[in-house]
Structure 1
């Protein structure tokens, strides 16, 4: 199932919520017309792919992840016609668009659930997961502790308990039901026809899990293969990007040994160890995470590297001791913490609004193997509002100007140049300490006696013993190239 176009491997992804990005009609809520007017900013920033969070019809109890209509758009953002015009604008600027596909659950207000609860003979009854009695383990596996107490809630009208991995207003779908899967592919086909370049899916480990009161929760990855097969048939260059916060040794189950499942996954193992390195100045766990993830993926697959996302900074895969160290540095106030595992803060405030540390972080993001993803507002150093509830602290409106309710105006000019050299390798060095360091580096690759500075002009020649002496400021970083031919290398030879 080889893909025709590996565009996603060279992409820069930008995640945003239409509701909080740009309001065009003055109603205080972002809309598609406002987003369309800001696509030129994103293109100038160097973004090549925009990830849109849910924009379908929804009661909006969970930022649109409580979907009530898979085929429409919420009137808060505009009409389906506005969405199509938005897509046309993006395509004219060379921007691809990936949209959130909420495939694991629906709102309890969705017509499917309303039909299912009203009549046990409804064709939608088995699209959800029911039990006559609340299972003994109903309090296990909650996603949002301590507020979420159970994963099974009684519906009076149905006379049964329904399963919900997330909030009780989000009923889990029986994702192994054949009729639901057929409908899922119709939904995917609809949005592909409107020009999207793929789908980002939330909580994929739950999506592939077999669900039920007396069912062993084994994971069946056939669904991912079927979804990928459908994409290959309908749009060969469309992708599946997943959130699957699993240990690195389980990632191949999601990519598929033959690369026939997901094309992209957010790299949580690296993300969590990255913050541990920032907090402790100890990069060893980060190095292990990189070894465990990079290079162990099929040809068609790619990791997505990120610093922050729209959710809390999830530290659940760290040890308790490691997590405590990160909390102590980046979330010293308990009000900054969430669900006993995460931090509800933006990137810039966590790093003390220290430009050196922010530049170090972004240098890592853009030099690690994989596709970089930026959360809206992080490019301008936006902060959080801890007075807001839970994850809403980091989901405040984008700041565009210095006017009321704004805060920032951007220059439409690229910030980071892109260097491409044939037959060349790159070395990136990063100092996680605030103290200056000197590194003695031996480069064994051919041409390693010369290192060409890709950002500045401080090229390096190996000393008599074949070692380069590289100075790094506190939180400093250097990018070097090995090999290749250009004028800089020729001048350095004399």
Structure 2
């Protein structure tokens, strides 16, 4: 192998309409990002203040978790007004300013649309529950009890217990896949679909660049309300709900992921396509068929642009064998799907703690993320290598964690405030006591401290993101030849102009690897990539990246 260094390849360029393909998206949990007014809760002005920092990472877009009006029973994922900002986060003028400032920094803005359900405080639900004859009587999923008064079927809520709640006004049950205060909309009603598409149009007209679509496979339910079958113990996993939750006892064949959903997704995509350069990212919540559904929902050019499932958000470690298994299944079930990968988000334990990663492994995983085929989501603080925060029971806010404590501690540990300044009060997040306590362990990795060290995790993430944007093959090229050789994962990314060979030792012991022959150039040395010729020995958490132009 002829190894050369300091190669300069043409920077990957993306058409405006195609920015999402291979793009890097930075997720912001607004109540925990930056507080601008001293009330202890992050807000839109706080995000605007930090846009320069976000742009410095080199990401393509931001995804902002819900900031709509809400009673905040599920922290904004229970919407009471889709067309306004909750005063907790600011005003519509604040959002417009954020949007303008983000665009001036070259950042796309995606907002988190929660369409499967609303808050029980939404006017739609208030009207629907009033009686069985009003114009919105069928806008939510209502059903009569069984003759003995029990719920219509055996469906379960992700937050524990029955997915049905009795309503004394209508003398019927309503469906809630999440909290009882989050009634599910009835997508079998076309008026509901039209109303939600109008919501999407409102934000598209305002200038947002796309949507992250919460629980995209929960939109439709089985119209016959058939019981879900039980799920054998050996098929249960905790990717969607903790194992202490009875939700894992069912195969959710009828309560979600219904075939009628495809037609609605095509309506949503058609609306989005009326606007140049907009994109839809769907969250697929299904422990058994996530990749298959991802393939269905992204097939062709009339459905979602991209989707992500939960394969890399599980507690199960990301080994070479598991990575290959996931991509083999993806190829088998959804070969033309465009995935979007995330290792951490606002619903799961941060991956540095979840997988027990040391600093070297954190860095390696960052590079791996930037090399895999698909788009990438980074969760705020991930670039700092933040561990999960330890939140005491008396400080918990998440109803999910309060319900299943102590076996499952909920989602507060990944939602604690962003740490900006190590020595400042509340680590620079707020001037007053925040809604969740600042983690002292996280404060040690605050932005100001890591900025001063050129070899810090923060600068490493910047270099990894820059690597992805430098090579068009890493952005949007094909992925071929994925192999697992012991603890080493190898694959090649390629497009019409270049190839990039990637090898990652995901194990704890050194591994020797034979490198491909030919006129390859070593890349990624500034990220810790290893040089080699003929063969290379990769220590634990080491990697080797090679590139060449195609002739």
What is the TM-score of this pair, normalised by structure 1? Answer: 0.81
Q: Is the 8 A contact 2:153 2:226 kept in 1?
A: no
> What is aligned with 1:286?
323
Q: How does 1:430-441 map to 2 (within 5 A)?
A: 430-441=504-515
* Cα displacement (A) at 1:309: 1.3
Q: Is the 8 A contact 1:22 1:30 kept in 2?
A: yes
- Determine if the alignment matches structure 1 residue 354 to structure 2 residue 423: no
Q: 1:365 aligns with which of 364, 369, 372?
A: 369
Q: 1:245 aligns with which of 269, 279, 285?
A: 285
> What is aligned with 2:543?
477
Moved more, 207-216 or 450-459: 207-216
What count of residue pairs does the alignment treat as equivalent?
429
- Determine if the alignment matches structure 1 residue 451 to structure 2 residue 520: yes
- Determine if the alignment matches structure 1 residue 265 to structure 2 residue 270: no
Q: 2:38 aligns with which of 26, 47, 51?
A: 26
Residue 450 of structure 1: SS of its match in structure 2? coil
* Cα displacement (A) at 1:232: 1.3
Q: Is the 8 A contact 2:209 2:277 kept in 1?
A: yes
* Cα displacement (A) at 1:252: 2.4
Q: Is the 8 A contact 1:209 1:219 kept in 2?
A: no
Q: 2:342 aligns with which of 288, 292, 306?
A: 306
- Measured in 1, the distance between the counterparts of 2:42 and 2:151 equals 44
> What is aligned with 2:49?
37
- Determine if the alignment matches structure 1 residue 167 to structure 2 residue 172: no
- Measured in 1, the distance between the counterparts of 2:316 and 2:355 equals 12
Q: Is the 8 A contact 1:432 1:475 kept in 2?
A: yes
- Measured in 2, the distance between the counterparts of 1:212 and 1:164 equals 17
* Cα displacement (A) at 1:138: 3.9
Q: Is the 8 A contact 1:452 1:459 kept in 2?
A: no
Moved more, 59-68 or 372-381: 372-381
Are residues 121 and 199 of structure 1, via their aligned partners in 2, closer, same or farther at CA, if it must alter by over 3 Å? same
- Determine if the alignment matches structure 1 residue 226 to structure 2 residue 226: no
- Measured in 2, the distance between the counterparts of 1:285 and 1:353 equals 16
Q: Is the 8 A contact 2:294 2:339 kept in 1?
A: no
Query: Tell me, which stretches of 5 or more residues in structure 2 are unaligned?
Result: 1-14, 228-253, 402-409, 428-442, 452-457, 473-495
Residue 540 of structure 2: SS of its match in structure 1? coil
* Cα displacement (A) at 1:125: 1.2
Q: 1:420 aligns with which of 449, 452, 471?
A: 471
Are residues 23 and 473 of structure 1, via their aligned partners in 2, closer, same or farther at CA, if it must alter by over 3 Å? same
Residue 113 of structure 1: SS of its match in structure 2? helix
- Measured in 2, the distance between the counterparts of 1:109 and 1:136 equals 23
Q: How does 1:80-91 map to 2 (within 5 A)?
A: 80-91=92-103
Q: 1:381 aligns with which of 380, 385, 406?
A: 385
- Measured in 2, the distance between the counterparts of 1:474 and 1:311 equals 29
- Measured in 2, the distance between the counterparts of 1:172 and 1:267 equals 21
Q: 2:193 aligns with which of 138, 160, 181?
A: 181
* Cα displacement (A) at 1:268: 2.7
> What is aligned with 1:492?
none
- Measured in 2, the distance between the counterparts of 1:458 and 1:69 equals 53
- Measured in 2, the distance between the counterparts of 1:298 and 1:4 equals 25
- Measured in 2, the distance between the counterparts of 1:252 and 1:352 equals 31
Q: Is the 8 A contact 2:284 2:293 kept in 1?
A: no
- Measured in 2, the distance between the counterparts of 1:285 and 1:459 equals 26
Q: Is the 8 A contact 2:27 2:63 kept in 1?
A: yes
User: Deviations for 1:349-399, whole angstroms, at most 9, x for unmatched residues?
Assistant: 335461111112112111111111101111112232242331122111111
Residue 89 of structure 1: SS of its match in structure 2? helix
Are residues 58 and 212 of structure 1, via their aligned partners in 2, closer, same or farther at CA, if it must alter by over 3 Å? farther
Query: Tell me, which stretches of 5 or more residues in structure 1 are unaligned?
Result: 313-344, 462-467, 486-494
- Measured in 1, the distance between the counterparts of 2:43 and 2:151 equals 45
- Measured in 1, the distance between the counterparts of 2:549 and 2:63 equals 36
> What is aligned with 2:430?
none
* Cα displacement (A) at 1:484: 5.3
Are residues 202 and 399 of structure 1, via their aligned partners in 2, closer, same or farther at CA, if it must alter by over 3 Å? same
- Measured in 2, the distance between the counterparts of 1:433 and 1:287 equals 14
- Measured in 1, the distance between the counterparts of 2:417 and 2:316 equals 29
